[in-house]
Amino acid sequence: MFKLIRHSDESVSRRVCVVGIGDGGSRAVAGVLGGGSGEGCTIAVINVDPVALENSKAMTKVLIGRHGPADGGAGGDPAVGKAAAERDIEMIHGLLSDCDVLIMAVALGGGTGTGAAPVVLAAAREAGILTLVMTTTPFAFEGEFRNRIAREGLQTVTAMADFVSVIPNDRLVSGVGSEGGMAALFARADEILAAGICSLWQMVAKPMLIGVDAGGLRALAGKGSGACLFGFGTASGVGRGLHAVKALLEGPVLEKGASLRSCGAALVCVAGSYDMTLHEVGDAFSAVCGALPADCDIQVGTVVNEGWDDRILITVYVADRRRTVTPAPRAGGGRRTEPAAPMPASGSRSKAKTAAQGELMFDAPAGSRGRFVNIPATILDGEDLDTPTFKRRGIVLEK
């Protein structure tokens, strides 16, 4: 079931604001700048740490929480990050004053990003701005405390943003061999986050040959049960199309393609330099779509990036299947349990375990949670009990 979305010929381009919040988010945004894809949009970083801001290459720097409890750092406490953002909400309003789309990068688990992100999202929503969020969750070795903060943060962000994609950093551990040190691991995490921002930006800001747009992203978000997983592959030179596919399918974030085999809906985007051929695009699509289940709802898009030279980038966002959600993991263990695998339709690969990480998926479409919108969901036996029982049971009420 391919859905080719007709590209609408709008010449008015959207004003995009890319914002990195906290240290991780700021580094990722800097990565976008380094990649040379930052033209035509505002790139900003928000942080409580003036030194980190000083070192950032971003055009706009917003220092929050000065002279408050967060002065110089949030100390890993989201409440401090939140308070700092609320304190300087005027600056955030100013930052968002002339944009249509907000692309936010935040590495969850710390104080500044996790705390300030919901405040920025709320401000953006108030202003009617489309909100797209790329997040990472901490490595398991960063400890249960940070992971718990990240889980709760992700829930809040998922409930508030139009589209949320998450990169579970812990999956990168298997991708970096023993030769790669800590620095390499974190650099890789920043790089992936940057690639995600870049691809979102292309989708919303660039005219696409085969278009997916913000509506497509929102639809994808609505099909799954929460945050979408993100994976990408890039290559250049001879055979770059297939190399990029290979990099995507063998990458650790999608668990060597296992995440694709169990997903319910996906959005595939191929971006390339001006010399990208139809063949390359076709081959890339068929290779990626071949890895997806037959009954998967697929959207595809391509975009040409004039700024690039001999390069192809394939990005995939996958939403899990609804109703295969497992409860949040019990606190304690570093590794999380995998939810029961929904059977993929493709027979030969049916042994593949699902990649959806239980704690990352929340069956919580915004608007059905009422007053429980900003607190951790009560998930028992795979159901989000904050959603009214009568809604979950499909009871129709008499008027």
Partner 1 sequence: MIPVVALEIGTSKTVALVGEMREDGSLMITGRGEHPSAGVKKGEITDPEGAANGAKKALMDAENGANVDINEVVLAITGGHIRSSVYNGTAPVCAPDGTICEDDMEEVQELARAVSLPADRDMIHTINQRYSVDDHEPVENPEGMVGAKLSLDILGFHGVRSILMTAHRTVERIQMAVQDTVFSGLAAALSVLTPEQKRSGAVVIDLGAGTTDYVAYAGGVIACGGSLAVGGDHVTNDIMLAFNIPQIRAEKIKKEHGRALVSDHVEPPRLSLPAELGFPVNVVNLRSLHVVVHARMEETLLKIRRRLEEVDVLSRLGGGVYLTGGGANMKDITELATSVLGVPCFVGRPRHVLSLKKGVDGPEYATCCGLLEYTFRTRDPQSDEPKSILGSLMKTLLGRR
Give residues in contact with partner 1 (CB under 8 A).
Answer: 144-145, 148, 330-333, 368-372, 375-376, 378, 380-381, 385-386, 388-391, 393, 395, 397-399
Kindly tell me which of 180 and 382 has the beta carbon lying closer to partner 1.
Answer: 382
Here the tokens at position 111 are 């104080």
> How far apart are CB 195 and partner 1 at their closest, in Å?
33
248 touches 288 (CB < 8 A) = yes
Of residues 229 and 379, the one with the C-beta less far from partner 1: 379
Provide, rounded to whole angstroms, the least separation between the CB of residue 389 and partner 1. 4
Shortest Cβ distance from residue 149 to partner 1 (Å)? 10
Do 77 and 238 contact (CB within 8 A), yes or no?
no
Q: CA 139 to CA 229: how far, in whole Å? A: 16
State whether the Cα torsion 34-166-351-295 is positive or negative.
negative
The token pair at 367 is 């608007």
Give the residue carrying structure tokens 């108030």. Answer: 126
Q: Is 109 left (phi over 0), alpha (psi -120 to 50) or beta?
A: left
Residue 37 or 147 having the CB closest to partner 1 = 147
Q: Nearer to partner 1 by C-beta: 20 or 138?
A: 138
Q: Which of 357, 24, 356 is nearest to 188 (CA)?
A: 24
CB of 373 to partner 1, least distance (A): 10
Closer residue to partner 1, CB minimum distance, 182 or 380: 380
Question: Who contacts 286 (Cβ-Cβ below 8 Å, separation ≥6)?
Answer: none
* CB closer to partner 1 out of 128 and 394: 394
Q: How far is the CB of 366 from partner 1 (least distance, A)?
A: 12
The H-assigned helical ranges of 1-46 are: 22-34
Residues 86, 119: Cα–Cα separation, whole Å: 7
Rounded to a whole number of angstroms, the minimum distance from the CB of residue 114 to partner 1 is: 15
